[in-house]
Chains A and B, each alone.
Chain A
Amino acid sequence: MNFTLHVWRQKNARDKGRMETYRAHDITPDMSFLEMLDVVNEELVEKGTEPIHFDHDCREGICGACSLVINGIPHGGKKGCTTCELRMRNFKDGDEIYVEPFRAKALPVVKDLMVDRSALDRIMQAGGFVSVSTGAVPDGNAIPVPKAVADKAMDAAACIGCGACIAACKNASAMLFVAAKVSHLVHLPQGQVERERRVRNMVAQMDKEGFGNCTNYYECEAVCPKSISVEVIAKMNREYLKALTKPVK
């Protein structure tokens, strides 16, 4: 298969950046999208052009490092799939493909298709944890957790922190990401003591980072490689309202 690629190139954070056009030759349908870019990069290096930079690591859809907005859709639009899992058989021979970095003020471009997602780490640092130190814990079975509840928590905890929800959101809002963590911890008995402070702090940090507001487009849910439902956002909204009505402990 052959493709025409329009790729965002930007030397570093200070550079203005522009779209460049490349051709991808002799691609097999079994290749992943990133393997296709690997092939293009090998060719670029041989020609003496610096290769296209992009974040990636596990290449099996779990580390959350890969990003890319492919033809306007983060991770390329195949349901429940990250860019590294997306196979070229999902494209037609001869397709023109647009490849851009995740775009948001809070996720500035580092180089080419790499973005700085440290804003997400900072939101987690603001409250995405249970305050428990090593050792000071009861037996794992001391507090039973109903299976349905544990499953719900797991659904939300499946977030890999890739940031596709932000890239897809027309408002560059980080609601799905933040809500997934709030929802994960609020379901479990272990996270209860700090539930009000957690949601308020995480929301405050999210706002501080310059993410947009949620206006219920639900694009986030559509592109989430772990298919996390916008239900978690409703859950967070509810949590937040409840937290506001309670005195801070």
Chain B
Amino acid sequence: MSSIGLEKPRSLPVEISYASLGKKVLMAVTGLVAFAYILGHMLGNLQIFIGRERLNDYAEFLHSLGWFLWVIRVCLFAFFAVHVWKGIQLKLENWASRPTRYVKNNTVQASLSSRTMIWTGLAVLSFIVYHILHFTVRVTNPQYQSMVDGLGRPDVYSMVIAGYQNSLIAVVYIIAVGLVCYHLTHGIASMFQSVGLNNPRLQPLLDKIGWTLAVIIFLGFISIPLAVMFGYLQPLAGGM
């Protein structure tokens, strides 16, 4: 008589957004999208080394998408917002689940990156806000608005170089990218665990993949400001 009862099965969206395991799945999926975006963003940026034309072509291509670009932007924003929202919510719940702290704290194997996800995450969030204001909306540096190339297109190439010639901006950028990548060292392997794609044989491999990808992305992104600071990438004479 009697078996495991399920009083009121919650619908899938409710379960996903409120059950602890559901929230984790959301973190993993939105994290994966954010990661894919970062990877694409890096590959796009690296075209700067091919030359001004290539980069500006790429920027023009993106803009030419028109309404579709906005769809992408809105989707990205939504995924990102969910990632942030759920991340903060999880953290608040986690804090609440241990109201009395230990007098003596200790850690056996949890990595520093895993324990600082909320802080690296929030730092990255504030950087992203700045980054969008800097290069996309261009309110921090309104002079970029006037940068156009020979074809009258926004001269992304020159904006980037102008931006990183300011070493303060370059350093902030490098640190921020570092934080993003540090966030990823835990995030990439963690995604697999959260959706259940992990086992003891796979786990060390996932950890390595996570670190390797994070380092590649870090090097990819910082190569640009470094190249500018060390003079490998030069502003084009008369380009302005």
A and B touch in the complex (CB under 8 A): yes
**Chain A residues in the interface with B (C-beta under 8 A):** 6, 8, 19, 69, 71-73, 77, 98, 100, 103-106, 126-127, 129, 131, 133, 168, 170-173, 193-194, 197-198, 200-201, 203-204, 206-207, 210-219, 221-223, 229-231, 233-241, 244-245, 248
Q: Is B4 a contact partner of A194 (Cβ separation < 8 A)?
A: yes
A-B contact pairs, 22 of them (CB 8 A): A19-B103, A69-B102, A72-B102, A72-B104, A73-B108, A100-B103, A106-B97, A129-B4, A171-B93, A204-B10, A207-B19, A212-B94, A215-B190, A217-B114, A219-B110, A222-B108, A230-B193, A231-B198, A231-B199, A231-B200, A244-B15, A245-B12
Cβ < 8 Å to A, chain B residues 1-17: 1-6, 9-10, 12, 15-16
- Name the 7 nearest CB pairs between A and B, nearest first: A72-B106, A238-B196, A212-B97, A131-B3, A171-B94, A217-B110, A237-B196
Chain A residues near B21: list those with CB within 8 A.
203, 214, 236-237, 240-241
Interface centre among B23, B105, B111, B197 (most CB of A within 10 A): B105
Chain A residues near B12: list those with CB within 8 A.
244-245
For A199, the closest partner residue in chain B by CB is B21
Chain B residues near A173: list those with CB within 8 A.
20, 94, 97
Instruction: Decide if B156 is an interface residue (CB 8 Å cutoff).
Output: no
Extra inter-chain contacts (18) besides given A71-B104, A213-B90, CB under 8 Å: A72-B102, A72-B104, A100-B102, A105-B98, A171-B93, A194-B3, A197-B5, A198-B4, A206-B20, A212-B94, A213-B23, A215-B94, A229-B200, A230-B198, A234-B199, A237-B195, A244-B12, A248-B6
- Residues 52-68 of B, flagged 1 when their CB comes within 8 A of A and 0 if not, give 00000000000000000
Given A172-B94, A234-B196, A241-B196, does the pair A219, B107 have CB atoms closer than 8 Å? yes
Q: Is B196 a contact partner of A218 (Cβ separation < 8 A)?
A: no
Q: Is B103 a contact partner of A98 (Cβ separation < 8 A)?
A: yes
Instruction: Decide if B47 is an interface residue (CB 8 Å cutoff).
Output: no
Q: Is A77 a contact partner of B108 (Cβ separation < 8 A)?
A: yes
Interface residues of B, count at CB 8 A: 54
For B1, the closest partner residue in chain A by CB is A133
CA distance A229 to B199 in the complex (A): 9
- B15 CB to closest chain A CB (Å) equals 6
Chain B residues near A77: list those with CB within 8 A.
106, 108
Q: Is A216 a contact partner of B19 (Cβ separation < 8 A)?
A: no
- Residues 93-122 of B, flagged 1 when their CB comes within 8 A of A and 0 if not, give 110111111111111111100110100000
Interface centre among B4, B103, B186, B190 (most CB of A within 10 A): B4
- A206 CB to closest chain B CB (Å) equals 7
Q: Is A217 a contact partner of B4 (Cβ separation < 8 A)?
A: no
Q: Is B19 a contact partner of A105 (Cβ separation < 8 A)?
A: no
